Amino acid sequence: MTKINDLIKKLTLEEKAALCTGASPWTTTPVERLGLPEMTVSDGPHGVRRVADVNDWIAGSLPATCFPTASCMASTWDVNLIRTIGQAIAEECIALKVDVVLGPGVNMKRTPLGGRNFEYYSEDPYLAGQMAASFINGVQSKGVGTSLKHYAANNQESQRMTINAKVDERTLREIYLAAFETAVKKAKPWTVMCAYNKLNGTYGSENHRLLVDILKDEWGFEGLVVSDWGAVHDRVASMKGGLDLEMPGPRARRVKAVVEAVRSGVLDESMLDESVRRILGIVFKAAETSKGGSFDTAMHHALARRIAAEGMVLLKNNGILPLKDQQHIAVIGRAAKEAHFQGGGSSHINPTQVDNPLIELQKLAGDAELSYAEGYPAGTAFDQALIDAAVKNARSAEVALLYLALPDSKESEGYDRADLDLTPQQVALIKAVTAVQPKTIVILNNGAPVAMSEWIDGTAAVLEAWMMGQAGGGAIADVLYGKVNPSGKLAETYPLRLADTPAFINFPGGNGEVRYGEGIFIGYRYYDAKEVPVQFPFGYGMSYTTFTYKNPNVSAASFKDVDGLTVSVDVTNTGKVTGKEVIQVYVHDHKSGLVRPPKELKGFAKVELQPGETKTVTLALDFRAFAYFHPAYNQWITEDGEFDILIGASSTDIRCVQIVTLQSTQELPSLLNRESTLRDWMEDPRGRRVFEPLFQQYTAQMRATFDAHKVEVGDIGMETLGFLMELPLRDIFYFQENTLPMPPEDLVDGLLAQVSQNN
């Protein structure tokens, strides 16, 4: 720290300003006279996209392992595996001379239409936060940095550079910031990347509340904030907003603007110094890890295969899988020969090698005959002849495997999806093939849910194989032949129809803004609350074995919020093959001051079990597992009362329920004010204590008045107490003004004073 402070004193104003903007699209500015090195950054997030020439924006990149994208990673629900991938990516960074990898992306999948959903983990902030933290810990354990992105509310590509996301405070905290918060607190990423979009009127790059108040001050983030590439609009405003490093560079005008702003007194030099301090802190940290050498391409390819197989989700299986001794298999679909293993845009990796799914399948199929048919053309064109040939192929085989990949035009960074559908040709192909071959298995390569209701009934099995990374072709074969027992579970809901999705009428917005009208109800929180049937629920995935859940237990039936709770359950593999199960714990609050989702994921674990084996799975639930963010208190609060602890195999397959009682230890300030209603007073414990005696007296008087006038309460067709409940106290007092010792306003003020004395 003293070293950095000394350096800041030695740097000229121009040098300091220059340090806060890149020297090239991928490097920071070095200061040779003081021995300050440059730092190289590269995309992310599921591999290293190290451009061959850092001065070239779109130069080709050096070969690196393309791991499965985040949708697949999250579906493993395996934090240890994610950590291992992080370590492998760090090894590649070291070999490719990269100091910071630009990932992970931890934004929520607000709608399945989000073009970058394949790069993001989940619709659930708890799961996404755990995944991101493990990834970061893995990378950074090797002395390489990460960039947690895109902070915040970057949930669509439509008007991606300018859209104003209008999100209420509670929704922001519980849904859109929560995964960032977990990752920052648990894993301390070296850098955080701001989002392009505006949040509630202010660009991500200038958002002081997000970057300084919340990220740096509240969460204690010590690293640097980097702009997304091209996200800065006004360099001085962004520096004031807490953005430390602008990328890409060079941008001489920006540097000049900062220098002039300091000279003219528009920008306090201490703000510039603070950014320089943060940047140098990371630059020196990066320099501690010496770069160069090579990485084990074969080992990393094998790791990519392992994670792809672990993340694939078996959605349907009527018993056809795993494949056994079929001798003639029809393999249909271009994706069998041309693996679709990653998405388009900045995350695009130049793979070290790519598994051909068909060749990998043949390796496991032994002598069986695999007869190939293309099935569908590239892109979205329609070609009946390809369908006809596929049908012929399928009819003569014992089983048909349909390898279907969504074309790039339907899913990529840069634009949102228009629908959830496969191409018309692919749908027609499935229908035609399943009509002649009931033993048809559909294998999907895509980064986000597709609609299936039109065709799924005719299939024998469906495997969601995702954008599966360069080794995914082998991983599909592993799962189809049962070399790997599938254990992936969905990290996002598969809806039946687009019109069923939570943000349907509020996406992608218009006139420059998008209103997050569904609030905290995204993903399963929405489908649960609205009782909307879905194709496959969050947390769902099949196995070749079966599991039972027994002996659920909680550490205490009644507990204090700060103590949290330990939950355990015995899980047994009741089938014939070894398998892995993802045990999920959700919390349901029986009664809350503000509406809460019917259930929220608060813990999970993945265990491997041999046939017949039982393991006790234990999970800890902390304060935050029971809390919600209350905008009026501007903090996370707990409330006394009962909660269900739901232990399940998916969000809808709850196997055990335990009821516990929470005692809140929080002393919250009273929210009562002059406008508070009778209900507010009666529901606030302190208010009630102060007001109740008066209330008794008041209702007796009221009754007497009614009696005197011979008025029946029901005469005006309303329930009196219900009516009074929603009125401010002052207005209620006005009904009895003549009998009051003082004016109603003064009476309310007196009560409020008593409440605050008791606070």
What residue type is assigned to position 114 of the chain?
A: G
Q: How far is the CB of 61 from ligand BGC (least distance, A)?
A: 11
**Closer to ligand BGC by Cβ: residue 229 or 538:** 229
CA nearest to 476, candidates 525, 443, 524: 443
Number of residues that bind ligand BGC (CB under 6 A): 6
Q: Does 312 bind ligand BGC (CB under 6 A)?
A: no
Orientation of helix 125-140 relative to helix 79-95, angle to 10°: 40
Q: How far apart are CA 294 and CA 93, in angstroms?
A: 10
Site for ligand BGC in 457-476 (CB under 6 A): none
Q: Is 228 an active-site residue? A: yes
Site for ligand BGC in 556-585 (CB under 6 A): none
Task: Judge residue 741's burial from the number of C-beta atoms within 10 Å of its C-beta, 0-12 exposed, 13-18 middle, 19 or more buried.
Answer: exposed
Q: How far is the CB of 210 from ligand BGC (least distance, A)?
A: 17
Q: Does 228 bind ligand BGC (CB under 6 A)?
A: yes
**Closer to ligand BGC by Cβ: residue 16 or 198:** 198
In angstroms, the Cα distances linking 588 to 482, 556, 562, 654 are 36, 17, 18, 12
Site for ligand BGC in 130-149 (CB under 6 A): 149
| Sheet architecture: strand order including 654-663 | 558-560, 654-663, 641-648, 579-589, 600-609
Q: How far is the CB of 204 from ligand BGC (least distance, A)?
A: 11
**Closer to ligand BGC by Cβ: residue 228 or 411:** 228
CA nearest to 25, candidates 1, 61, 65: 61
**Closer to ligand BGC by Cβ: residue 204 or 351:** 204
Binding mask 148-177 for ligand BGC (x = CB under 6 A): -x----------------------------
Binding mask 329-358 for ligand BGC (x = CB under 6 A): -----------------x------------
**Closer to ligand BGC by Cβ: residue 104 or 598:** 104
**Closer to ligand BGC by Cβ: residue 66 or 463:** 66
**Closer to ligand BGC by Cβ: residue 43 or 374:** 43
Q: Using the rule CB under 6 A, which residue among 43, 91, 561, 639 binds ligand BGC?
A: 43
Q: Which residue is nearest to ligand BGC (CB)?
A: 346
Site for ligand BGC in 97-116 (CB under 6 A): 102
The encoded tokens of residue 74 equal: 């999250």
Q: How far is the CB of 229 from ligand BGC (least distance, A)?
A: 4
CA nearest to 136, candidates 178, 92, 184: 184
Using the CB atoms, write b or e for 77-111: b if 16+ within 10 Å.
Answer: bbbebbbbbbbbbbbbbbbbebbbbbbbbbbbbbb
Q: How far is the CB of 40 from ligand BGC (least distance, A)?
A: 13
The encoded tokens of residue 358 equal: 């068909």
Which 3 state secondary structure label does DSSP give 78? Answer: coil
User: Is beta strand 494-495 parallel, antiparallel or unpaired with respect to 534-536?
Assistant: antiparallel
Q: Does 229 bind ligand BGC (CB under 6 A)?
A: yes
Dihedral over alpha carbons 137, 446, 452, 533 (to 10 degrees): 20
- CA neighbours within 13 Å on the CB side: how many for 92? 35
Q: How far is the CB of 149 from ligand BGC (least distance, A)?
A: 6
Task: Judge residue 128's burial from the number of C-beta atoms within 10 Å of its C-beta, 0-12 exposed, 13-18 middle, 19 or more buried.
Answer: buried
Q: Which one is catalytic: 43, 228, 416, 528? A: 228
**Closer to ligand BGC by Cβ: residue 101 or 261:** 101
Find out whether 73 and 66 touch, Cβ atoms under 8 Å.
no
CA nearest to 346, candidates 94, 99, 155, 105: 105
Q: What is the DSSP string of 593-635?
A: SS---S-EEEEEEEEEE-TT-EEEEEEEE-HHHH-EEETTTTE
The encoded tokens of residue 58 equal: 């779109």
Contacts of 245 (CB under 8 A, 6+ apart): 20, 21, 22, 28, 191, 224, 225, 226, 227, 275, 279
In angstroms, the Cα distances linking 251 to 33, 53, 92, 246, 400 are 21, 18, 29, 9, 56
**Closer to ligand BGC by Cβ: residue 70 or 259:** 70
CA nearest to 649, candidates 534, 530, 496, 487: 487
Q: Which residues are known catalytic residues?
A: 228
- Residues found near ligand BGC in the complex (CB under 6 A): 43, 102, 149, 228-229, 346
